A and B are shown apart, each in its own frame.
Chain A
C-alpha cells in the first residue's frame, strides 16, 4: 500500500531522513520504531503530504503524494502526537467540525460523529468541553477525530503519550479492532513493548536511516532454545523441571513473572476511568 523510495529530507544542514526505502503492505499493522530524532515524525509528515521531500518519492496505493495530495489525504487518517483538538469546543463540536472539513455533511456527518463518540467511549461526555476531559479521554477523542472519514490507512504518531494504563489498553484494543477491519496501520512509538504487543511488521530507524525492517518474529529471532509454557492452572515449577528431566530434556524452568502492567490491570481492572479532571 505504501512505497517509500529514496526519501531524503533536510532541515538546513541536518539530514533528518537520509535515503529511506520502506514498503508497507496493505492490511499490515506496521510498527515504526526509533529513538527521539530518528526521523520517524519527518517520515510520517512526508507520507501524509505535510512536507515535501528534498529527494525521493512516497506513494500511497500507487499515487505519488506530491502528484495528488488531496486524493492521498482522503485515504490517510493521521492521529498526531499532539492533542490536535479545540479545548474551548465540546467533544461533539470537535468531531463535527473535523468531519465537515473532510467533506462529510448531513445525516452522514451525524452518523460519523456518533461513530466517533462510540469509538472514544465519550457518549456521556459529548457536550463537555475538551478542556474538561482527562488526558486519556482527550487521547481517545484525538484518535476518533482521525477516523471520521473512514480512511483505509491510519497513521498513529505516539498515540499513548501521557495516558493511564486503562486508556492505553483501550487504545490497543481499538487499534487491533481497526486492523481486524482491514485497515493498514502505521504505529510510531519509541516504546518497544507497544510494538511487540501490536505489530506484525516492524521497521527500526535511527539518524534518518533504516536499520532493520522485517516481520516481528523475524526481528526477534529465536534459536529454538526458549519456550513459553502456559498451564491451565497453578503448577509447581519443580514438578515441571522433574518432568522434563525424566523425559531426557536438559532444560531449566524458571517461573514466569508478570509485568507490572499486568499486575496493575489485574488489580485496578481494565475498565476506562472517565472521571472529571480537577
Chain B
C-alpha cells in the first residue's frame, strides 16, 4: 500500500505545483454554480415578451391591463405589421392579435348570444412552451373580464334586455319553460364536461394559433436543427481548447523556439495555428451537419450560401478562441480551467441548452453579446427558420469579427518563453 500512497502524494504535489491552475479548478465550479443558481433563483425579470395588437375599447384595454399585471409577462402594444415582423424574425416569441370586434364580444350578453371571440396568436415555432403559458394567462384574463361583466349593472341590464328579446321572439312555450330548458342544457353540459366528454359547454372565446417565420416553405420548429447547432458550437470550442493546449506544449517542448529562430514573423506562426483550428472546425461542422441531415432530416430552409457563410464564420471564431486561450493560459491546466469555464458559460448563455426566457434579464442581454448566441441564431436562421441571406451574412460577419478580435488579444498576450 505504501507505494500507492507515495505515488498519490507525488500526484498531489504536482497538482499543487501549478498554483494558478489549482485555484482555477476550485474557482470555476463555484462561478458556474453561482451562475446557474441565478437562473433558478427568484428574480426581478421583466418577464417574457408578448406583443399585443388591439383596437379601441375599455374592455379590451382592461384585459391587456390584466395581462400586464400577470407574473411572467412583459406586454408591449404594437401594430399588427410590427408584430408579424418581430415574431417572424424570432425577435419576440408571441403576439396576441385581438380582432376589431373584441371589445363588443367581451360582454356577458355576447357570451350568451353564442358569438365567440377568437384571438389570433402569432407564435415563433420554437416557442411552444411559451405559447401554452401565454394562452393560460390570456384565458385567465378573459374569464376575469367576463366575471367583472356579470358584476357590472350596465352589462347585466344589457344581458337581461337581450334575454327578454329572445323570450319575446320565442315561438311557443312559457318564458319559464325557456329558462328551464336553457338551465337544463347548461347543467347537462357541465356534467358532460366533468366526465371528460366535452359536452355542449364552450368557453365564449378561443385562441387561433399561427406559426410565423420568414421566407417561404414550412414554418415548423425542428428540434434537431436547434440541438445540432448548439452542441456543435460547444464542442468546437472544446476542440479549440485542445489546440491551445498543444501550443503551450510546443512552448514547453522547444519546437516553438525553433520556429522563432526562423524568419517567419511570430504573428504568422500563431496565425497558422488559428488557421488550422478554423479548418478543423469547418471539417467537423460539415461532417456533423451531414450526419444531421442524413439521419435526422435537418433542413436548410435559408440560402445555402448563407448557411455555409455561418459555418465559415463560426470556424473563424473558433480559431480565434484557440489563440485567446493560448494567450491567457500559462499552463495546460490553466487552459483547461479557463477554457471549460468559458465554453460552458458561452454555451449556457448563448441559448444552446436552455430557452432564453428562463434567464434573468441581465443574462439575456449578456447572451446577445456572445459569439455562441450569434452562431446558434445564425445556424437556426439558415436551417429551420429559413431567413434570408442577409441574416446569415450578418451572423457570419459578427462571428468573423469576434474571431479576429479574440486572435488579436491572444497574440498580444501570448508568451513565447
- Residues 238-256 of chain B: 1 if any A CB is under 8 Å from the residue's CB, otherwise 0? 0000000000000001110
Contact pick for A50, options B255, B265, B416, CB 8 Å: B416
Nearest CB in chain A to that of B268: its residue: A101
A50 and B260: CB pair below 8 A?
Answer: yes
Taken together as a complex, chains A and B put the C-alpha atoms of A221 and B169 apart, in Å, by 138
Query: A77: which B residues are within 8 A, CB to CB?
Result: 261
- A138 smallest CB distance to B (angstroms): 12
Q: Quick check: is A1 within 8 A (CB to CB) of the other chain?
A: no
21 pairs across A/B with beta carbons < 8 Å?
A48-B261, A49-B261, A50-B257, A51-B417, A70-B265, A74-B263, A78-B258, A78-B261, A80-B254, A80-B257, A80-B258, A81-B254, A83-B253, A83-B254, A84-B257, A84-B258, A85-B255, A145-B258, A146-B258, A146-B261, A149-B262
- B267 smallest CB distance to A (angstroms): 13
B263 and A82: CB pair below 8 A?
Answer: no
Q: Quick check: is B259 within 8 A (CB to CB) of the other chain?
A: yes
Contact pick for B262, options A73, A81, A86, CB 8 Å: A73
- B264 smallest CB distance to A (angstroms): 5
Taken together as a complex, chains A and B put the C-alpha atoms of A98 and B256 apart, in Å, by 11
Chain A contact residues: helix, strand, loop or mixed = loop
A98 and B262: CB pair below 8 A?
Answer: yes
B263 and A86: CB pair below 8 A?
Answer: no
Nearest CB in chain A to that of B265: its residue: A70
Nearest CB in chain A to that of B266: its residue: A69
Q: How large is the interface on B (under 10, 10 to 19, 20 to 34, 35 or more residues)?
A: 10 to 19
Count A-B contacts at CB 8 Å. Answer: 50
B263 and A73: CB pair below 8 A?
Answer: yes
Query: A149: which B residues are within 8 A, CB to CB?
Result: 262
B263 and A78: CB pair below 8 A?
Answer: no
Nearest CB in chain A to that of B261: its residue: A78
| Given A50-B416, A50-B417, A51-B417, A84-B262 contact (CB < 8 Å) | no
Q: Quick check: is A248 within 8 A (CB to CB) of the other chain?
A: no
- Where the two chains meet, the residues of B that have a C-beta atom closer than 8 Å to any C-beta of A are 253-255, 257-265, 416-417
Query: A86: which B residues are within 8 A, CB to CB?
Result: 255
Known: A70-B265, A98-B262, A145-B258. 8 other contacts (CB 8 A): A50-B257, A50-B260, A78-B258, A80-B258, A82-B253, A82-B257, A85-B255, A86-B255
A84 and B417: CB pair below 8 A?
Answer: no
- B273 smallest CB distance to A (angstroms): 13
- B270 smallest CB distance to A (angstroms): 13
- Residues 73-99 of chain A: 1 if any B CB is under 8 Å from the residue's CB, otherwise 0? 110111011111110000000000010
Taken together as a complex, chains A and B put the C-alpha atoms of A170 and B259 apart, in Å, by 26
| Given A50-B417, A51-B417, A101-B255 contact (CB < 8 Å) | no
Taken together as a complex, chains A and B put the C-alpha atoms of A149 and B260 apart, in Å, by 14
Contact pick for A101, options B253, B254, B262, B416, CB 8 Å: B262
- B136 smallest CB distance to A (angstroms): 59
Contact pick for B263, options A51, A80, A85, A103, CB 8 Å: A103
B253 and A84: CB pair below 8 A?
Answer: yes
Q: Quick check: is A102 within 8 A (CB to CB) of the other chain?
A: yes
Taken together as a complex, chains A and B put the C-alpha atoms of A62 and B303 apart, in Å, by 61
- A128 smallest CB distance to B (angstroms): 18
Contact pick for B257, options A70, A74, A78, A103, CB 8 Å: A78
For window 131-152 of chain A, which residues contact chain B by CB distance below 8 Å? Answer: 145-146, 149
Contact pick for A98, options B253, B258, B265, CB 8 Å: B258
A84 and B254: CB pair below 8 A?
Answer: yes
Query: A146: which B residues are within 8 A, CB to CB?
Result: 258, 261
Query: B255: which A residues are within 8 A, CB to CB?
Result: 84-86
Taken together as a complex, chains A and B put the C-alpha atoms of A117 and B255 apart, in Å, by 19
- A118 smallest CB distance to B (angstroms): 20
Nearest CB in chain B to that of A151: its residue: B261
Nearest CB in chain B to that of A71: its residue: B263
Interface hub of B258, B259, B417 (most chain A Cβ within 10 A): B258
- B345 smallest CB distance to A (angstroms): 33
Nearest CB in chain B to that of A94: its residue: B255
- B416 smallest CB distance to A (angstroms): 7
Taken together as a complex, chains A and B put the C-alpha atoms of A149 and B265 apart, in Å, by 17
Nearest CB in chain A to that of B262: its residue: A101
Nearest CB in chain B to that of A85: its residue: B255
Query: A76: which B residues are within 8 A, CB to CB?
Result: 261
A102 and B258: CB pair below 8 A?
Answer: no
Contact pick for B261, options A73, A81, A82, CB 8 Å: A73
B257 and A101: CB pair below 8 A?
Answer: no
Q: Top 5 nearest A-B pairs by Cβ distance?
A: A82-B254, A84-B254, A101-B262, A84-B258, A70-B263
- A179 smallest CB distance to B (angstroms): 20
B254 and A102: CB pair below 8 A?
Answer: no
Query: B259: which A residues are within 8 A, CB to CB?
Result: 101
Nearest CB in chain A to that of B264: its residue: A101
- A58 smallest CB distance to B (angstroms): 15
- A188 smallest CB distance to B (angstroms): 15
Query: A84: which B residues are within 8 A, CB to CB?
Result: 253-255, 257-258
- B260 smallest CB distance to A (angstroms): 6
Taken together as a complex, chains A and B put the C-alpha atoms of A45 and B254 apart, in Å, by 13
Taken together as a complex, chains A and B put the C-alpha atoms of A103 and B268 apart, in Å, by 13
